Chains A and B, each alone.
Chain A
Amino acid sequence: MNLELTDEQTFLREAAREALSRVKTVAAARDALEDPSALPDLWPTAREAGWSGLLVSEEHGGAGLGAFDAMLVMTEAGRVLAGVQLLGHLPASELLDEAADERIGAVAEGELRACFVAASPPGDLDGRWTVEPPSGSVRLDAPVLAAGGTLSGSVAWVPDAPGAEVYVVVATREQDGTPVAVVVDAAQVSVEDATRYDATRTLGHVSFDSAAGDVLEGIGAGHLARAWYLAQALLAAESLGAVETALSESVAYAKERFTFGRAIGSYQAVKHSLVEVLRLRENTYALLLYAGWAYEDKPDEFPLAASAARSAGGHALDYASRAMISVHGGIGATWEHDAPLFFRGRVAGGIAAPGSHRIPA
Chain B
Amino acid sequence: MDLNDTPEQVQYRAKVRAWLDEHKDEAPVDQGEDEAAYIDARRAWQGKLAAAGLAGVTWPTELGGQGLGPIEHVIVGQEIARAGVPNVLDVIGVGMLGPTIIAHGTEEQKSRYLGPMLHGDEVWCQLFSEPAAGSDLAAVQARAVRQDDGSWRLSGQKVWTTNAHFAAYGLLLARTDADVPKHKGLTMFVVPMDAEGVTIRGLRQISGEAEFNEVFFDDVRLDADAACGPAGGGWGTAMTTLMFERLTIGLGSEGLGYRPERYAAAIAADEHARLDPEVRRRLGELCVELLAVKFTGYRMLSLLQQGQIPGPEAGLAKVTTVRSAIEAGDLIADVLGPDALAEDSEWAYMISFLPGLKSAGGTEEILRNTIGERVLGLPPEPRLDKGIPFSELRAKERAAVVS
Residues of A within 8 A of B (CB): 1-6, 68, 125, 247, 251, 254-255, 262-263, 265-266, 268, 270-272, 274-276, 278-279, 282-284, 286-287, 289-290, 292-293, 296-297, 304-305, 308, 311-312, 315, 358-359, 361
Give B371-386 interface residues, CB cut-off 8 Å to A.
371-373, 375-382
- Whether B284 pairs with A312 at a CB distance below 8 angstroms is no
| B204, CB-defined interface residue at 8 Å | no
Give B278-301 interface residues, CB cut-off 8 Å to A.
280-281, 284-285, 287-289, 291-296, 298-299, 301
| B369, CB-defined interface residue at 8 Å | yes
The listed residue (B5, B275, B289) touching A283 by CB distance below 8 A is: B289
The listed residue (B1, B281, B380) touching A289 by CB distance below 8 A is: B1
Chain A residues positioned under 8 Å from B379 (CB to CB): 255, 262-263, 265-266
Give B1-18 interface residues, CB cut-off 8 Å to A.
1-5
Task: Tell me, in angstroms, the Cα distance from A237 to B195 when the chains sit together.
Answer: 58
**Across the two chains, which residue of chain A brings its CB closest to B302?**
A3
The listed residue (B288, B371, B380) touching A278 by CB distance below 8 A is: B371
Chain B 345-379 near chain A by CB (<8 Å), digits 1 or 0: 00000000000000000000100110111011111
Contacts A/B (CB < 8 Å), 22 sampled: A1-B2, A3-B1, A4-B303, A247-B376, A251-B378, A255-B379, A268-B368, A271-B369, A272-B372, A274-B372, A274-B378, A275-B375, A278-B376, A282-B313, A283-B288, A283-B289, A286-B294, A287-B288, A287-B292, A292-B1, A308-B288, A359-B284
Chain B residues positioned under 8 Å from A292 (CB to CB): 1
Shortest Cβ distance from residue B269 to the other chain A in the assembled complex, whole angstroms: 15
| Given known A268-B369, A286-B299, contact A2–B281 (CB-CB < 8 A) | no
Chain A residues positioned under 8 Å from B377 (CB to CB): 251, 255
Chain B residues positioned under 8 Å from A297 (CB to CB): 3-4
Give B308-340 interface residues, CB cut-off 8 Å to A.
313, 316, 319-320
| Given known A359-B281, A361-B280, contact A3–B381 (CB-CB < 8 A) | no
Task: Tell me, in angstroms, the Cα distance from A244 to B77 when the chains sit together.
Answer: 34
Main secondary structure, interface of A, reads helix
| B277, CB-defined interface residue at 8 Å | yes
Task: Tell me, in angstroms, the Cα distance from A287 to B292 when the chains sit together.
Answer: 5
The listed residue (A1, A5, A68, A272) touching B368 by CB distance below 8 A is: A272
| Given known A268-B369, A271-B369, A278-B376, contact A293–B1 (CB-CB < 8 A) | yes
| B403, CB-defined interface residue at 8 Å | no
| Given known A1-B301, A3-B299, A283-B296, contact A275–B1 (CB-CB < 8 A) | no
**Across the two chains, which residue of chain A brings its CB closest to B275?**
A125
Chain B residues positioned under 8 Å from A268 (CB to CB): 365, 368-369, 381
- Whether B365 pairs with A272 at a CB distance below 8 angstroms is yes
Task: Tell me, in angstroms, the Cα distance from A279 to B321 when the chains sit together.
Answer: 12
6 cross-chain pairs, A with B, having the tightest CB-CB distances, nearest first: A283-B292, A359-B284, A265-B378, A286-B295, A271-B372, A3-B302
Shortest Cβ distance from residue B398 to the other chain A in the assembled complex, whole angstroms: 25
- Whether A286 pairs with B371 at a CB distance below 8 angstroms is no
Q: How many residues on chain B are close to A (CB under 8 Å)?
A: 46
| B305, CB-defined interface residue at 8 Å | yes
- Whether B299 pairs with A275 at a CB distance below 8 angstroms is no
Give B87-116 interface residues, CB cut-off 8 Å to A.
none
- Other A-B pairs beyond A4-B306, A275-B376, A312-B288, 13, CB < 8 Å: A2-B1, A3-B1, A5-B1, A6-B1, A251-B377, A251-B378, A271-B372, A282-B313, A286-B298, A293-B1, A297-B4, A308-B287, A361-B277
**Across the two chains, which residue of chain A brings its CB closest to B2?**
A2
| B27, CB-defined interface residue at 8 Å | no
Chain A residues positioned under 8 Å from B294 (CB to CB): 286, 290
Task: Tell me, in angstroms, the Cα distance from A265 to B371 when the chains sit together.
Answer: 12
- Whether B382 pairs with A266 at a CB distance below 8 angstroms is yes
Chain B residues positioned under 8 Å from A279 (CB to CB): 316, 319-320
Give B121-150 interface residues, CB cut-off 8 Å to A.
none
Shortest Cβ distance from residue B245 to the other chain A in the assembled complex, whole angstroms: 20
Shortest Cβ distance from residue B81 to the other chain A in the assembled complex, whole angstroms: 18
- Whether A1 pairs with B71 at a CB distance below 8 angstroms is yes
Chain A residues positioned under 8 Å from B313 (CB to CB): 278, 282
Shortest Cβ distance from residue B57 to the other chain A in the assembled complex, whole angstroms: 16
- Whether A278 pairs with B375 at a CB distance below 8 angstroms is yes
**Across the two chains, which residue of chain B brings its CB closest to A261?**
B382
Task: Tell me, in angstroms, the Cα distance from A296 to B2 when the chains sit together.
Answer: 10
Task: Tell me, in angstroms, the Cα distance from A308 to B50 when the chains sit together.
Answer: 39
Task: Tell me, in angstroms, the Cα distance from A4 to B306 when the chains sit together.
Answer: 9
**Across the two chains, which residue of chain B brings its CB closest to A310?**
B288
**Across the two chains, which residue of chain B brings its CB closest to A279?**
B316
- Whether B320 pairs with A359 at a CB distance below 8 angstroms is no
Task: Tell me, in angstroms, the Cα distance from A255 to B320 when the chains sit together.
Answer: 26
Chain A residues positioned under 8 Å from B380 (CB to CB): 266
Chain B residues positioned under 8 Å from A293 (CB to CB): 1-3
